[in-house]
Structure 1
Amino acid sequence: MGHQGGRGERQISSVFLGVVAVMAVTGWAVWTDYAHSAGLAVFLFVTSAWVVSLCLHEYAHARTALHSGDLSIGAKGYLTLNPLKYAHPLLSVVLPVVFVILGGLGLPGGAVQIERGRIGGRWKHSAISAAGPLTNVVFAVVCTAPFWLGALDGVPPAFRFALAFLALLQVSAAILNFLPVPGLDGYGIIEPWLSPRIRRELAPLAPFALIGVIALLWIPGVNEVFFGVVRDLLSVLGVSGLDTYCGHGLYRFWEDARDSFCTVPASGA
């Protein structure tokens, strides 16, 4: 008989609420320039918002799996939005945050363990894999809403730049997640539709695929093409290269290389 779960299995964790509180307070600090140091506030705001998006990404996987038939999800703590409950907190939260700090890349993480044998139907398996990166897409749309709605009047420059950089992280994470590479969500979407033979042959590649993708992104030509696609998508959403450049510069406040330039509001909406 399936495990139905209790209320505690779905109660939002204090860890997640704490991260949301940090995001809210630092977002307010960026908006009001409370600390008169936009860089540190932008760093804390974007990092906490990024962690929130990682939690929501994994929650989307888990919630979709629950409704698709895997009733073991609740007992594993995945419905509490607590990142410490993930199968690999290091890969799911710490490593993506490190990559944001080092290179401004929205790295996808692998976290929730889903008992696929409990789920029937290829469409359900595809939906579970798609739910995570679609969360990044929604997050990107929300972050860029002031840009494509032309609602930037009155938005402080630092907050505008922070939203632009956060949107860049979400778009890059969505693109990487949707790649049809074993171990990534994009492959999880198409995997149910592949023959058993092909799945068996590709399965051993899963643990190394993400490492391979990261290695490719270190190649200047590949990196330029990838971020060119990211910038093109952001441009469609009304976010300019200047916005993301300044956002990244403010985020890396310890370099203090772009603050004087990026405190000037960008022209146009």
Structure 2
Amino acid sequence: MSTATRGERRVSPVFLALVAIMAVSIWAVWTDFSASPGFAVFLFIVSGWIVSLCLHEYAHARTALFGGDISVGAKGYLTLDPLKYTHAVLSIVLPVIFVIMGGIGLPGGAVFIERHRISGRWRHSLVSAAGPLTNVLFAAVVAAPFWLGAMDGVPDHFRYALGFMVLLQVTAAILNALPVPGLDGYGVIEPWLSYRIRRQVEPFAPFGLLAVFGFLWIPEVNHAFFDMINSVLRGLGVTEWDTYWGRQLFRFWQGTPDIPRISDLVVS
């Protein structure tokens, strides 16, 4: 049976610090405590995004552990410590930069899974699927107040911040689920491909994500992609109004915009 020692499963102080920062920033946004509401939103989004990335990578590692790769414990992947990931730049730094740029949730990098320890195609597929599914779950939880109709009385700044967080999680989940080499979506189908096809595709894996973002620069593709994202968000009860003003608050360095309140909207 796959196991890990208690020390290998102990939650990292780095992760707990991130959770604490997220909790304090949520309080600051909710109470409008900060003189700069945008800065509080910025801290909430960045800390929450890094927490979601840690959970994404943890899900890969935990599923791999159950699949037979006991090495993930010794590597520190089960501690939720972002500093333990194989590609900290890809997993944490670049995604945060893309968030700071303000519009899209970049899928994180990958923990190093020793695939030869895992037997069975379904187990390999589940290891790859675990990450995007974590983003889906995170998005559903954050969006719960919207789709449950529980936003009455929620401060506007907090509502907009939640909407922007949901946008980031949905874009990350959809992008990472694409069957493109280098992304988790391809990892799901890879075990079911022939050895010849896998060998032919393998050299392109490092460039898969770059190719996706290259395609997103094409206006028609970009519009189609964000139309799909907005359709998903509407299904979750999150409007373009919420995500737009959440993004504006997040970019606090551009100055705090004069954000209209929900109560001021005229519903036709």
- Per the shorter chain, which TM-score range? over 0.9
Q: Report SS of the residue matched to 2:119.
A: coil
The answer to whether the 8 A contact 1:242-1:266 is kept is no
Q: 1:8-60 CA distances to partner (integer Å, 9 max, x unpaired)?
A: 11100000000000000001000000013210100000110000000000000
Structure 2: how far apart are the matches of 1:24 and 1:184? 31
Structure 1: how far apart are the matches of 2:102 and 2:17? 26
Bigger drift between 233-242 and 35-44 goes to 35-44
Q: Which amino acid aligns with 1:216?
A: F
* Residue pairs, 1:67-216, within 5 angstroms: 67-216=66-215
Structure 1, unaligned runs of 5 or more = none
Q: 1:46-100 CA distances to partner (integer Å, 9 max, x unpaired)?
A: 1100000000000000000000100111000000000000001011000000001
Q: Which amino acid aligns with 1:225?
A: A
Q: Report SS of the residue matched to 2:108.
A: coil
What displacement does 1:5 show? 3.5
Structure 2: how far apart are the matches of 1:53 and 1:127? 19
* Residue pairs, 1:31-42, within 5 angstroms: 31-42=30-41
Structure 1: how far apart are the matches of 2:8 and 2:189? 30
Once the two structures are aligned, what percentage of the paired residues are identical?
64
Structure 2: how far apart are the matches of 1:28 and 1:19? 14
Q: TM-score, normalised by structure 2?
A: 0.96
Structure 2: how far apart are the matches of 1:75 and 1:115? 12
Structure 2: how far apart are the matches of 1:180 and 1:121? 20
Q: Which amino acid aligns with 1:107?
A: L
Structure 2: how far apart are the matches of 1:5 and 1:28? 35
Structure 2, unaligned runs of 5 or more = none
Structure 2: how far apart are the matches of 1:62 and 1:19? 20
The answer to whether the 8 A contact 1:157-1:266 is kept is no
Structure 2: how far apart are the matches of 1:163 and 1:138? 14
Of 249, 254, 258, the residue aligned with 1:260 is 258
Q: TM-score, normalised by structure 1?
A: 0.95
**Residues 132 and 36 of structure 1, relative CA distance in 2, 3 Å threshold:** same
**Residues 212 and 63 of structure 1, relative CA distance in 2, 3 Å threshold:** same
Structure 2: how far apart are the matches of 1:22 and 1:158? 18
**Residues 129 and 262 of structure 1, relative CA distance in 2, 3 Å threshold:** farther
Q: Which amino acid aligns with 1:40?
A: F
Structure 2: how far apart are the matches of 1:194 and 1:74? 29
Please provide the CA RMSD for this pair.
1.5
Structure 2: how far apart are the matches of 1:250 and 1:119? 45
What displacement does 1:4 show? 4.4
